[in-house]
Structure 1
Amino acid sequence: MSQRSLRLLPKALGLAGSLALCLAFASQAAAQEVKLRMTIWSANEAHLKLFNSIAEGFKAQQPNVSVTFEPLPFDNYTTALTTQIAGGNAPDMAWIFETSAHDFVNSGALYPVGKTLAATPGYALADVAPSATERWTKDGTLYAYPFSTSPFGVFVNNDLIKQAGAKTPAELIAANQWTWPNAIATAQAVAAKSGKGGIVVRDFNYQAWQFLSSVYYGWGASPWSADGKRCTFADKPMVDALNFVHDAVFDKKAMPGPGQNVDFFAGDAAMTITQISRASLLPKEKSFDWDLVPLPRGPMGDYAIVGQAGVGVLKQSKNAEMAAKFVAYMTNPENSAKLAQFFPSARRSLLNADTLGKTNARLSPAQLDKVVVSGISTGKLMPGHTDFARLQQMVRAGLDPVWQPKADIPAAMKSICAQIGPLLAK
């Protein structure tokens, strides 16, 4: 080797060393990069915009962490999620229906998040109502956070009702006559006059019968006993409630029948029963005069029902602790207040019309107080049970004979109990 080469060697080695060092740092940075994925059941533009803004806020605190949201179809959301889990492609985080809470919590599929939430500065876990976390807790350990505790209400198209010469729900409420028979009378008048839908139980579609609980709870009916061990479909409250619904569908034509898809938010129905989170579907331009009122009074008196969604971390996640930290950030007091415009919070400090009104400009203080605050305070959760997916399908099939013009409802209810009774008793 020449003397000139010997003189250049240290410099060359220095450049090589620097390059190696840069590559090492780059490799370390790449290794530290964390990509979190969360499945959700909404592809709504306003929802996604809010979630992405929260993810950006988290990234500002955790620069190496990015969060993406994967919408799955609402109708088969749980099936799609469990398929991912079974296939080894589980998301890091997931929304979970309240109906499936027992299965996810009891199966061991979820990573415990309670300690992470409690240890996060300023989180104030004690602000969350204990009743809201009941379905997401096992043996004192919290496995998912109830980020949405959304009561059901009735959205109203006053234009269609007035055109039919019927009384609006607001008028019936003022006269203390907002009952199920009067609600059906109003819906019947609209259907007869305009040919449009009367009252729609959104997401029911004669398949997801659990959404019909927004009606049958008014009769004091339930699918099974409080301990979940006895079928109560054949009990008088449920038989009476389903007779009422059957009459409204087939005799009064006040509710769309099987196979009829009617969208209230497109202006095609007088009323729809759904959660207030669906307010995002209202037309941006007020193309019709709409209102939001509580559920009609049933034979058992005033009642309210709440749909709940939890957000949990999947135990299969390779970054479970970081995912739990994102859940803590997503559901802290500040972000819970932002989420409340679509997904009412279980935090007691946020359960007032003034606070909710800051992010729910489309709803009046009276609507927020009567439907949201009161509904969350007094409402029962939608029915849920271990092995709910199996029970749901068995009951759905058992209800098929009910959705015929001439149906023997008591016989159909007895048949359902004969099918699911042994499963409940386990």
Structure 2
Amino acid sequence: MKKYGLILLSVVLLLGLLSACGGNGNNNNGTGKTNKENANNTPSAEVAAESKDPIELEMSVWGSDAQVALYDELAEEYKKLHPNVTVKTSVIPWADYQQKLAIMAATKTSPDIVWISERMIPQFMNGGQLLDISSVKEDAAYTFDDIIPSTLTAFEKDGKLYGIPFSTPPQVVFYNKNLFEANGLKSPMQLYEEGNWTYDEMVKASEAISKPQEGVYGVKFIQNSSNWSDNLIPLIWAMGGEIFNEDTTQFAMNTPETAKAINLFKGLLDKKAHPSIGEQLTFDTGKLGMAFENVTRTSAYRDKVDFEWDIAPLPEGDHGVKMPIGFGGYSIFKDAEYPEEALEYLKFISNKENAAKVAEFFVPQRESVLYSDEYLNKFPFPTVETMKVAAYDRLAEGTIRPSHPNWVKIDEQVTINLDAILLGSTTTEQALEIMEDSINPLLK
């Protein structure tokens, strides 16, 4: 009898244990939901993140204090969604940025996410140091198709994607309306609307406006020879020239078309229609009839200048117009300690909502943001129509300035020989031949 009693007690205890572990259909396990409901509702990303180990990501930038503050705010917003992830924003001065990034990449101490410009991309992409982030194309929530295709080309190689742009400002012509009116000239925008805005007309206007004895000049392309690529490349393109061949294996500037472009620029200097190379003269002084600059300069001039001004598209050359766009993007280094988490943060700061916030400082890469009423009507001047005609509508056909892993050495050779041309110590044709001989070996 005692034996049967023990067996019965064991069965009761076993049933009680099973009941406690499995429960019945009404058991909510302390969640307020039945077991069936719990089985069909996986934890949210926020809840799941709370159980993960702490992660610290680092993002390097070269931006201003205001820009850094914005990214710090985005990092805080991200932390609310992912409490275990902390993002630190590190500032590296622009002058040292590429060199320091290269050293950190070589020593595997680089930040996880980096700002990167078009000049830097070939060095790190061709060196196999950037992470392939092509998976963003398949993320429906990210809406990759919203990104303007022309702004992605610098990050594309062999069917893979190595970054996302955040700043894609096209180049425009700023012009001083007062100086044009004082000299009885049609403005660049008026000439554009008539279909007559060409480099020939730009030269005529520059010569008419210039009064070098009063410190007034018709146009400014570049500050000095070392930044020739900023504004001489679009002139070279407009005349039918190129910097490299299509696969950047040969120097392509040694042509009559490029010579014509350089000689046009030299002619402006010789006639004192352009400030002397190295002269510190900026558009906001009111002493320049025109200045070729990125459209983002509009924000600096709105509250700074005390004369009437506006913007216009780039003029046409013998081969039309090839619109250059500036470039800044986000990339992830392949050696990042947390590549998956870094990619999630990259998607967060470049999604539609946050691209709109970043657009406070930069021309957005997303079409939905670029043409949103909020962005277009943010400032009363220049007018929405002018901004569209001169800049935004041209982004789709924009071209990122060419670069190469050996760009620093290439740039040095072009600068040296361009100086020789402008000083008159050699002819344009001779200098282009010297450039070709010295630069082609750098492209191998």
TM-score between the two structures when normalised by the length of structure 2:
0.79
Match of 1:245 in 2: 265
Match of 1:80 in 2: 100
1:292 aligns with 2:311: yes
Asked if structure 1 preserves the Cα contact closer than 8 Å seen for 2:189 and 2:313, the reply is no
Asked if structure 2 preserves the Cα contact closer than 8 Å seen for 1:120 and 1:328, the reply is no
Match of 1:42 in 2: 63
Q: Which moved more, 1:71-80 or 1:221-230?
A: 71-80
| Counterpart Cα distance in 2 of 1:137 and 1:324 | 17
**1:345 is matched with which residue: 364, 368, 371?**
364
Match of 2:207 in 1: 188
The 1:167–1:48 alpha-carbon spacing in structure 2 relative to 1, beyond 3 Å, is farther
1:216 aligns with 2:245: no
**1:313 is matched with which residue: 328, 332, 345?**
332
The 1:380–1:121 alpha-carbon spacing in structure 2 relative to 1, beyond 3 Å, is closer
**2:289 is matched with which residue: 247, 258, 270?**
270
Asked if structure 2 preserves the Cα contact closer than 8 Å seen for 1:197 and 1:262, the reply is no
Match of 2:73 in 1: 53
Residue identity (%)? 27
Match of 1:24 in 2: none
1:304 aligns with 2:320: no
| Counterpart Cα distance in 2 of 1:55 and 1:293 | 37
Match of 2:123 in 1: 103
Q: Structure 2 unaligned runs (5+)?
A: 1-49
| Counterpart Cα distance in 2 of 1:101 and 1:213 | 18
* Number of aligned residues: 392
Residue 245 of structure 1 and its aligned partner are, at CA, apart by 0.6
How far does the alpha carbon of each residue in 1:130-163 deviate from its partner, in whole angstroms, 9 at most, with x for none?
4432331233321111222221111222234334
Q: State the secondary structure of the residue aligned to 2:123.
A: helix
Residue 253 of structure 1 and its aligned partner are, at CA, apart by 1.5
Within a 5 Å distance, the mapping from 1:57-68 to structure 2 comes to 57-68=77-88
TM-score between the two structures when normalised by the length of structure 1:
0.82
How far does the alpha carbon of each residue in 1:273-305 deviate from its partner, in whole angstroms, 9 at most, with x for none?
122223332242552222121101112123322
How far does the alpha carbon of each residue in 1:306-364 deviate from its partner, in whole angstroms, 9 at most, with x for none?
22222101233323332222210111012223333543333344453746404455442
| Counterpart Cα distance in 1 of 2:286 and 2:344 | 42
Residue 34 of structure 1 and its aligned partner are, at CA, apart by 3.9
1:332 aligns with 2:347: no
The 1:168–1:417 alpha-carbon spacing in structure 2 relative to 1, beyond 3 Å, is same
Q: State the secondary structure of the residue aligned to 2:391.
A: helix
Residue 419 of structure 1 and its aligned partner are, at CA, apart by 0.7
Q: State the secondary structure of the residue aligned to 2:277.
A: coil
How far does the alpha carbon of each residue in 1:162-212 deviate from its partner, in whole angstroms, 9 at most, with x for none?
34554422333344332212223333344316413432235x521022212
**1:385 is matched with which residue: 404, 407, 410?**
404
Which protein shows a greater Rg?
2
Q: Which amino acid aligns with 2:57?
A: L
How far does the alpha carbon of each residue in 1:211-261 deviate from its partner, in whole angstroms, 9 at most, with x for none?
121222111111121222222221111011001111111x22222222212
Q: State the secondary structure of the residue aligned to 1:94.
A: strand
The 1:49–1:279 alpha-carbon spacing in structure 2 relative to 1, beyond 3 Å, is farther
The 1:266–1:83 alpha-carbon spacing in structure 2 relative to 1, beyond 3 Å, is farther
Match of 2:422 in 1: 403
Q: Which amino acid aligns with 1:39?
A: S
1:90 aligns with 2:110: yes
| Counterpart Cα distance in 2 of 1:330 and 1:73 | 22
1:144 aligns with 2:163: yes
The 1:174–1:137 alpha-carbon spacing in structure 2 relative to 1, beyond 3 Å, is closer
CA RMSD of aligned residues (A): 2.8
Q: Which amino acid aligns with 1:238?
A: T
Match of 2:32 in 1: none
| Counterpart Cα distance in 2 of 1:188 and 1:44 | 40
